[in-house]
Amino acid sequence: MRLLKRGRLSLLFGLTLVLGSVWMLSLLNELRTDGSLTYGWWEYTDVDGGPEKQCNCSAILQGETEALEEAKLLTLSEDFQKSVEIPDEYYINAAKDCRNFKLSRKYFTFPLSKEEEEFPLAFSMVVHHKVQNFERLLRAIYAPQNIYCVHVDKKSETSVFAAIMAITSCFPNVFMVRRPVSVVYAAWPRVQADLNCMADLYNASTEWKYFINVCGQDFPLKTNLEMVRMLRSLKGRNSMESEQMPAEKKWRVTNVHQLVNGQIQGIGKQKEPPPFNLPIFSGNAYIVVSRGYIRSVLEDDRIQTLIEWAKDTYSPDEFLWATIQRIPGVPGSTRPNRKYDMTDMNAVARLVKWQGHEGPQDSLDAVYSECHGNHVREICVYGAGDLRWIIAQHHLFANKFDIDTDPIAIYCLEKYLRQKVLAELH
């Protein structure tokens, strides 16, 4: 049987409501990628046959001490670290044969349910290094009905750009942003990268329902079907951190900042007040928003004026989206009253462990337990010991993960999600 076309797949998935196990048995026995090569459904079940497979992921996810200690010792081994690293050149060469690349990396190349097919999502992916992290993230969130814009920092190494270009070329619904920029931490180009992807995604398709932005060190905590159901339940509302601006952060928006030799710094000049007397809210770079919110960002004159005003502030990604979320008339927004404030822990967009909010398990002051990995810019880079807590949270994504810090954390989360996907099909 040739690769099932989308329309036929929709019919098949509809029939599962009546035929259930009959359809599954048929798929198990007959799913093929072309007339000669069979690809059994069961081959999707195992994640990867790499060195991480010696870990007991089930025990790790349950927080069992012995399994976590074994995983920790393994990640400290230099030989193990070398064995799990995949060089950029692998992806450049592997993606020359797209069909085999997608098969060997076990991408789902057909919609897994009618419910998901009818609720496509749009993703902006901003990356600058660690191709292996990016590819595993893409594989974890990939679905053929979704659409993906990838922004690679213009400063990235040639091999990084070439590898990601090779990967994206294998998928009709994954594309490189038309206008990449040189991203600078805490400066306007970080926002511009997402804005450019927003515009490309908005113009590329009229079908998608929600926009989600991610970076290369994010990883999903939910399957695509779970995301669809959670986003459908929002009924057009957006979900992101948006709170009153703390006093200790107000300098970021009251002083003019400029890029000097590739770094952002204040120039000792006070900014004009925000346009239209808009209250500025605190938030973060990562959001879950409706298509209508994106339309407002791209077309609303008030927001265009706010964007121009924000370009010489410090870390505009940590207030711009949160402020737009509180502007009356923006689709899915909430009123600027304090009662509508939302913390990052209550939003669904992103789970982050901030070092300043960590504490002992029995501490009433701590927001969450201590990090089991390490910290970068006061953010926990998760270790395997964080997984039990992570998968219990309601967020769609978590940040940060890093192959170099703990490849087992990513591997076990991949395996957990893949098993959930397959369970959803029964």
The residues carrying an active-site annotation are 318
State the DSSP code for 246: P
The three-state secondary structure class of 78 is helix
Dihedrals phi, psi of 47, to nearest 5 degrees: -75, -80
Give the number of residues written for the chain: 426
Cα separation, 259 vs 186, in Å, equals: 10
Q: How far apart are CA 182 and CA 126, in angstroms?
A: 11
Phi then psi dihedrals of residue 78, to 5 deg: -65, -40
Pairwise CA distance, residues 327 & 319, whole Å:
13
Q: Please check whether residue 402 is in contact with residue 217, taking contact to mean a CB–CB distance below 8 angstroms.
A: yes
Both tokens of 19, joined, read 């035929």
HEC readout, 25-52 = HHHHHHCECCCCCECCHHHHCCCCCCHH
Strands 147-152, 174-176: parallel, antiparallel or unpaired by DSSP? parallel
Which residues on adjacent β-strands are paired with residue 243? Answer: 282
